[in-house]
Structure 1
Amino acid sequence: MAKKKKSLFRKFNDQIHLWLGLISGIVVFIVSITGCFYVFEREIKNAMEPWRTVKAQNKPFVPPSLLLDTANIYMPHIKPTGLTYGSKKGAAAVGYSYFKDDKQYFSVVFLNPYTGAFIKKQQPIGGNEFNFFQFIIDGHRSLWLPYTIGRPIVGICTLIFVILLFTGLIMWWPKKWNKTNLNNSFKVKWNAKFKRLNYDLHNVVGFYALVFSFILAVTGLVWSFEWFGNSLYYITSGGEVKLEHSHPHSDISKAHLYSNDSISALNRAWYMVISQESNMQGMYLSPTPEDKDDAIEIIVYQDSKTYYNRSEYYFDQYSLKPYRVKGDRYEEASFADRLSMLNYDIHIGAVLGLPGKILAFFISLICLFGRDVLTLP
């Protein structure tokens, strides 16, 4: 009787695996193939776009104001929304995100961080040139549909994919742990007929890739559903509620005391940060606070190829009083906050360097070519 119930359970599990696979198949295919390309975005861009790098020099970078003044010549009457410094070999970049006639635009001006000289202007969004990686990420996140439509579809299908991993594990699980079943479960029979070989590739290779596929799916779900990210934080923090990311506020009442400073507050804040971060590998600044009470935000990255190991600095834009917020330093953050910071780098494999990216590429490839076989000879 017990054996019969187990058989019925397996049949039910097999049907769930089959139909959920059919429902989510095309979406998983698109997400997987675009993920294969996006893993190496940084490496491909650096190889194909020489204006992203400069010759390293034994002198300090110029302050933000000089870069902004130069960039604004090429983007007149548009407010800059971001400024980045790279490593010693990386170009600085000023970004401009704006809307015109209900259409979104994004332009970047690349500059030499040692001299402030103009290098290149690029328009990844809204321009006439085809932007390959923007096309890839739009497909990966929303299937090239409007985000309000495509993003939930990707999220739901990714959630289905997680269920498929568990139903697939049940299908893989040997009924008896004898030598024959273990060989069938852990080894591909390369000299078998096509249908059997296809089954083994799906079943055996799928098992070896299961844990990594699960990690890629879960880190993707963090962006798809706010409730999922909050739930993951709650579990990993031991029951704490994830607070919304909020910036400190500047004291407007003291604005008049610093209105005649010859050096801008952004420059002063920048000098204060680099005096503490002598070995920074990248930096992001918000060049123009949107509101009068916004704080100056500067993020320093400790590694040129990842984003998780970072330190966030906040300053009153008038008095330059430094502020601290929960989780603003990776090295001091809790496990749950560190996991949140790691999410992107885990998702693309960058947390393990180039080997991790190669692994993420092949895991996406396995998800891409995964196929079920309905019957076996």
Structure 2
Amino acid sequence: MTTKKIVLQIHLWLGLLSGLVILFLGVTGCILAFQREIESATQPYRYVQAEARAQLAPSVLQPIAEKQLPGKHVHAVMYQGRERAAEVIFYHYDLATNTISYYYHVYVNPYSGEVLKVKNMDTDFFRVVTMGHYYLWLPAHIGQPIVASATLIFVVLMISGLVLWWPRNKAARKQRFSIKWNVRWRRRNYDLHNVLGFYMTWLAIILAFTGLVWGFQWFAKGAYTAAGGQKDLLYTEPFSDTTASRAAVANAPAIDQVWQKMQVLYPTAEAIEVHPPESAASPIAANANPDRATYWKIDYRYFDQYTLKELPVDHVFGRFGEAAFADKLFRMNYDLHTGAVIGLAGKILMFFASLIAASLPVTGFAIWWGRRRKKSPAKKVVSTLEPAVA
């Protein structure tokens, strides 16, 4: 067999093996592409009327929200500007079972303390879709390897597809860049598969590689190291000094002082989030985001809960200005995956990349099935197959 025929067989069987998962990931990716825009347009409880008075401190909002969900632990209090509701986030991850015990957002008017909405994130539409996109709605230890493996296969499909797409001569080159519409459906389907696959490949590689960063630890560490990274990729909490006197911050709740400090340090931030200590040895974590539409430029800071002294960290989730190139690239992973790193135009590009990626298993299967139904002998059919992208 020639090299292209061998590549074609690899392309075919890997496509059949992973097609359903790739179709599903493409469709759910399309749904998630404009999540922020859809939520902003359809969820009025996210907004409040701006007032001249000061917003209520985290230590005030926390017990208001806790009354709505007694017995549950507050993970963070987030402020997103003067015209948006404050969000009190309840979240608990059970290390024993590696599952999320609960996840809620309580939306509170930051001026009056009025509770606007209690949302169980386990029933939120976009979170349900996200869990499908990440884990196929299976336990994480089962679903994540399946999704990651299908994504890795998709990379191989893209590379093998380019080999098959590559025109043999100048005459064939003209047929590789445009779709013929006034032809029989089989030829049109082939062009949709071949031409759209080529144009989408370059964006799909970004989608796949950023997905693999989440899917495989070995891939994430390898990519980070290759980019020159030298820090720990996993979040590890620094410790507070439990021997220090609590009187050092007795004039106001420590979490309020951290929140006030963050407002001074980041007067133009579009979002500031503070985290109550998880334990007696945990710090007060805080972060400030200059752009609500993305995540990669967030500054993460950690303060001793007793002395308010800032604690150093040795992982990528520190201050953005101090991050090395590899750290910034790793932090950019989610925004690259969604296209948000270049704004609305990037989201539109990734939406169409996901849509085309979802179509390729369908058009590829149609090509394979149509050729199986030919009455010609199997040997002759194989010898006349045209290369295609799946």
TM-score between both structures, scaled by the size of structure 1: 0.90
- In the comparison of the two structures, how many residue pairs are matched? 362
Q: Say if 2:285 is the partner of 1:291.
A: no
Q: In the alignment, what sits opposite 1:4? A: none
Residues 97 and 107 of structure 1 are in contact (CA less than 8 Å); yes or no, is this contact kept in structure 2? yes
Structure 1 residue identity aligned to 2:143: G
Structure 1 residue identity aligned to 2:256: N
Structure 1 residue identity aligned to 2:224: Y
Among 194, 208, 214, which residue is 2:205 paired with?
Answer: 214
Q: Say if 2:344 is the partner of 1:354.
A: yes
Q: What is the 5 A alignment of 1:46-57?
A: 46-57=40-51
Overall identity of the aligned pairs, in %: 38
Q: What is the 5 A alignment of 1:209-358?
A: 209-237=200-228, 240=230, 242-258=232-248, 261-287=250-276, 289-326=277-314, 327=316, 328-358=318-348
Summarize the Cα distance change of 1:333–1:157 in structure 2 as closer, same or farther, 3 Å threshold.
same
Structure 1 residue identity aligned to 2:89: G
Deviation at 1:69, TM superposition (A): 2.3
- Does the residue aligned with 1:204 lie in a helix, a strand or coil? helix
Structure 2 residue identity aligned to 1:266: I
Q: Say if 2:112 is the partner of 1:115.
A: yes
Among 114, 135, 140, which residue is 1:142 paired with?
Answer: 135
- Does the residue aligned with 1:252 lie in a helix, a strand or coil? coil
Summarize the Cα distance change of 1:283–1:172 in structure 2 as closer, same or farther, 3 Å threshold.
same
Provide the aligned C-alpha RMSD in A.
Answer: 2.2
Q: In the alignment, what sits opposite 2:70? A: 76
Deviation at 1:317, TM superposition (A): 0.6
Distance 1:144 1:73 in 2: 31
- Looking at both structures, which has the greater relative contact order when contacts are Cα pairs under 8 Å and sequence separation is at least 6? 2
Query: Which runs of 5 or more structure 1 residues have no equivalent in the other structure?
Result: 1-6
Q: In the alignment, what sits opposite 1:106? A: 103
Residues 88 and 281 of structure 1 are in contact (CA less than 8 Å); yes or no, is this contact kept in structure 2? no
Distance 2:176 2:132 in 1: 34
The runs of at least 4 aligned residues of structure 1 exceeding 3 Å deviation read 56-60, 98-103, 239-244, 255-259, 374-377
Query: Which runs of 5 or more structure 2 residues have no equivalent in the other structure?
Result: 372-384
Of 112-121 and 99-108, the range deviating more from structure 2: 99-108
Distance 1:256 1:106 in 2: 31
Structure 2 residue identity aligned to 1:66: V
Deviation at 1:41, TM superposition (A): 1.4
Summarize the Cα distance change of 1:56–1:206 in structure 2 as closer, same or farther, 3 Å threshold.
farther
Summarize the Cα distance change of 1:96–1:18 in structure 2 as closer, same or farther, 3 Å threshold.
same
Distance 2:93 2:223 in 1: 34
Summarize the Cα distance change of 1:199–1:342 in structure 2 as closer, same or farther, 3 Å threshold.
same
Deviation at 1:91, TM superposition (A): 1.3
Q: Say if 2:165 is the partner of 1:172.
A: yes
Q: In the alignment, what sits opposite 1:367? A: 357
- Does the residue aligned with 1:270 lie in a helix, a strand or coil? helix
Distance 2:93 2:208 in 1: 32
Residues 233 and 242 of structure 1 are in contact (CA less than 8 Å); yes or no, is this contact kept in structure 2? no
Summarize the Cα distance change of 1:356–1:87 in structure 2 as closer, same or farther, 3 Å threshold.
farther
Q: Deviations over 1:59-98 (max 9, x none)?
A: 5432211111211222223221122111333211112224
Distance 1:242 1:13 in 2: 38
Q: Deviations over 1:176-231 (max 9, x none)?
A: 2x1x2221111212222211111111111111111100101111111111111111
Distance 1:152 1:200 in 2: 32
- Does the residue aligned with 2:235 lie in a helix, a strand or coil? coil
